[in-house]
Copies of this chain bind each other. A is one copy, B any other.
């Protein structure tokens, strides 16, 4: 089968590799409906770690079950399924508390190859959620978005306790940030301030429900948010970048007693204790427990209540994966979909 492999920094190739097989009794093999590139894949693409042997990238997936291991009960061949970037048993105490991305037996799907024609999913019973019917082809981008970026934006909003009557700021205008806007809207936020300086992203943010756009960053951005919220700051800040600047911006834009939901994977972030202490904010985040949200998100997509697939502003044939990475790296595309 064909699969994307990263041979070195900025060196993406589509190679012929062996099709995955059932290894554990709980595995499923799925034929992927499409593949996509995540903003977080760009860290490896840009060479954050040296690459000595070709590595797989990607961790988002949806498609049709081809084969299941002997212990699998919840999905069967022919089902269209969506999973999350961590496979999880969905039965351990941590899963049952709603934190499947910290499952005691979790398996990072980045270790498999999700940018490929077929994928092995371990812990299939706990991980995969089947759609009630075979989705129309135009729903594939949205279902693929549910696998990570939608579920992650949703978690940011949940972690920041977004709800009716609340003012929300979203820091980050990548796919996750934009879908955090959509999530805040769905959860009933009164006012949604999107921070973005890119016209196409501002436009999509407004389409998803943003009521205000702030183009300024850092202290200036915080001052603008305070000015928009009676000097107090927002009730909920959703952080979807993962840098020191974005984290401090989220904390400083939040009023005392408010909530910061952070989902950008931290890179060289160090939070000053005393400032955090007097900020009086609630802080929660981490890898989104997307599995917990999949049933609800899939239902909303299948009913066409939401269209998170709008974050894919570039579609390319699978063999053009290298261009998909280049376009995202150069911020020419928000998110790239690869069609087989």
Contact = CB atoms under 8 A, between A and B. Distances in A.
Interface in A237-279: 242, 244, 247, 255-257, 262, 265-274, 276-279
Given A269-B273, A271-B273, A272-B270, A257 B287 contact: no
A97 interface: yes
Interface in A280-316: 280-287
Interface in A53-91: none
Interface residues of A, number: 38
Given A97-B257, A257-B97, A266-B273, A283 B283 contact: yes
B269 A270 contact: no
Contacts of A272: 269-270
Given A102-B256, A102-B257, A93 B232 contact: yes
B282 A286 contact: no
A98 interface: yes
Contacts of A247: 273
A94 interface: yes
Contact of A278 (B256, B283, B286): B286
Contacts of A271: 270-271, 273, 276
Contacts of A94: 232, 255-257
Interface of A: 93-94, 97-99, 101-102, 230, 232, 242, 244, 247, 255-257, 262, 265-274, 276-287
